[in-house]
A and B are shown apart, each in its own frame.
Chain A
C-alpha cells in the first residue's frame, strides 16, 4: 500500500478509536519518518492500519483509555436521541405555526418550535465547541502542519443548508394547509 493511502487509513482508524489528536499526530509522524528511512512497505513494517491502530490503543495507559466501542455508542446514542427529539419538535412546531393546526399534543406550536430549536441547536453548539475541535486537531510534531485539515466551507454549508431546506419545505406545506 502506498504510504499516503496507509496514512489516511491509519488516521481514520485512530479517529474511530477515539485516540486523542496529539497521539494520532505522533503515530502518523513516526510511521512517515520510519518508512522514509527504511523504504519498506508500511503494511509490512507496521501491519494493516486497523491492527496497528488497535496496537496504538493498547499502548495508551489504562486510566486514559476507554473501551472505544462502548464510548462511541454511549456518546452517540443519547446525542442522536436528543437531536432527533429536538428536530421533531422544531419541524412539528414550525409546521404548526405555519398551518395554524395543532401538532404536538399538550404543547402550543410556538413552544414546540422553540423547545426543538433549543435542543437541536444546543447539541450542535456543544459538539462544535472550540475546545473540542482543538483536542481533535492532528498537528504534525515535525512541521506543525495540520494532518487532518478542516472540513471545507462548502461541505459545512451543505450540512446546515440541507436540514434548513427541509424545515422550510415543512413551513411551506404548513402554509398551504391553512
Chain B
C-alpha cells in the first residue's frame, strides 16, 4: 500500500482532529493546512475534502474563520481555534491515544504487554 494514499475511511476519521491540531498551533489558511498535512505524511487533502471539513468545524464552533488580504493576490481564509475548540482538542487527543493503542493491541497482539 502506497503510504501517501491512506484509506479514505481512516482519513475521514482523523482529518477533523488533525486540522484542529494544526490550527491550534497557529492560525492558518486552507492551502497551508493541506501543505502541513502533506508534510506530516498524511498524503494529499484535496480542496473538495478540506473546506467541507473546515466548514463543519466552524459550524460546530471549534474554529472561526476570517478573510484576510493576501499579498498581491485574492484574500485568504484564515482559521483560528476557539476556546471550545481547545477544550475539544484536549479531550480528543487523550481519547485518540487510548483508541489507537487499543486498536494496535488487536492488530499486534505480540507487541502488547501481558
Measured CB to CB, the residues of A under 8 A from B are: 26-27, 29-38, 40, 44-47, 51-52, 55-56, 58-59, 61, 141-143
Contacts and interface: CB of A to CB of B under 8 A. Distances in A.
A4 to B, nearest CB: 13
B21 to A, nearest CB: 20
Contacts of A51: 48
Contacts of B59: 59, 61
A47 B48 contact: yes
B89 to A, nearest CB: 20
Contacts of B52: 55-56, 58-59
Interface of B: 29-31, 34, 46-48, 50-52, 55-56, 59, 67, 70, 73-77
- Among A36, A37, A45, chain B packs the most CB atoms within 10 A around the CB of A37
A164 B17 CA distance: 59
Contact of B56 (A38, A52, A59, A142): A59
A33 B56 contact: no
A103 to B, nearest CB: 55
Interface-centre pick from B29, B34, B46, B51 (highest chain A CB count, 10 A): B51
A142 to B, nearest CB: 4
User: Which one of B46, B48, B73 has the greatest number of beta carbons of chain A within 10 Å?
Assistant: B48
Contacts, number: 65
Contact of B67 (A27, A52, A141): A141
B48 A52 contact: yes
A51 B73 CA distance: 28
A29 to B, nearest CB: 7
Contacts of B74: 29, 32-33, 36, 142
Contacts of B46: 44-47
Contacts of A40: 47
Nearest to B47: A45
Contacts of B51: 27, 30-31, 34
A52 B49 CA distance: 9
A34 B77 CA distance: 9
A36 B73 contact: yes
Given A45-B48, A46-B46, A30 B31 contact: no
A20 to B, nearest CB: 13
B57 to A, nearest CB: 10
B47 A142 contact: no
A25 B75 CA distance: 13
Contacts of B30: 30, 33-34, 37
Given A29-B67, A33-B75, A36-B74, A55 B48 contact: yes
Given A38-B31, A46-B47, 15 more contacts: A26-B55, A29-B77, A30-B30, A31-B51, A33-B29, A34-B30, A36-B70, A36-B73, A37-B30, A47-B46, A51-B48, A58-B52, A59-B55, A141-B75, A142-B67
